[in-house]
Amino acid sequence: MILNALRDSLWLTVKLLLIILPLTISYEFLKERGLFSGTKPFFFMGITRPGLLPLITGVIIGLTYGAGVIIHAIKEHKLGKREVFLILLFLSVCHAMFEDTLLFVVIGANGLIVVVARLILAVVFTYLAYRARLFET
């Protein structure tokens, strides 16, 4: 039982290294070219340009594999508490959109409905939390 857990953990560590290292390295190169500067609010959800990086990372590769990059980007750009909440609210509903969806499509789910519904819910609730001035600090 504990062995099982250790084996799973070890395997996950290898996967994490394989996924996180290329991400953090390419992140440093992109930053070198000034891709993440600027604080103009991004469309209508109270998320700034540096906040887009953790958002997109999470939506594509998910919370577990993306967490490292998400946490690092939040600390490095000193994103505010409110923005962090909005990003995580969006990601809670809408992350790992490829992996999660494909797994269910394989056993017969309609992937389009799942993706569209999650995106709409994420946008609507993040917007509502933004407009409701939730967690103003």
Partner 1 sequence: MEIQKPLKRGLLNGLSITFMMVKVIVPCYIAIEIIKHSGLIDIISRACKPFMTIFGLPGEAALSLVAGYVINIYAAIAVLAPLGLPAKDVTVVALMLGICHSLTIETPITKKTGANASLLLLVRIVLSLFSGVVLHLVWK
Q: Is 132 in the site for partner 1 (CB under 8 A)?
A: no
- Both tokens of residue 93? 């509903």
CB of 35 to partner 1, least distance (A): 12
- The CA-CA-CA angle for residues 39, 125, 112, to 5°, reads 105
48 in contact with partner 1 (CB under 8 A)? no
**Minimum Å distance from CB 51 to partner 1?**
12
Nearest to 81 by CA among 137, 42, 37: 137
CA–CA gap between residue 46 and residue 33 (Å, rounded):
25
Helix, strand, or coil (residue 42):
strand
- Residue 53 binds partner 1, judged by CB under 8 A: no
From 4, 78, 133, 136, residue interacting with partner 1 (rule: CB under 8 A): 4
55 in contact with partner 1 (CB under 8 A): no
| Site for partner 1, residues 79 to 118, rule: CB under 8 A | 81, 84-85, 87-89, 92-93, 100-101, 103-105, 107-111, 113-114, 117-118
User: Dihedral sign, CA of 50, 53, 59, 64?
Assistant: negative
3-state helix, strand, coil in the chain (%, to 5): 75, 0, 25
The residues of the shown chain that bind partner 1, judged by CB under 8 A, are 1-2, 4-6, 8-9, 12-13, 16-17, 20-21, 23-29, 31-33, 63-64, 67-72, 74, 81, 84-85, 87-89, 92-93, 100-101, 103-105, 107-111, 113-114, 117-118, 121, 125, 135
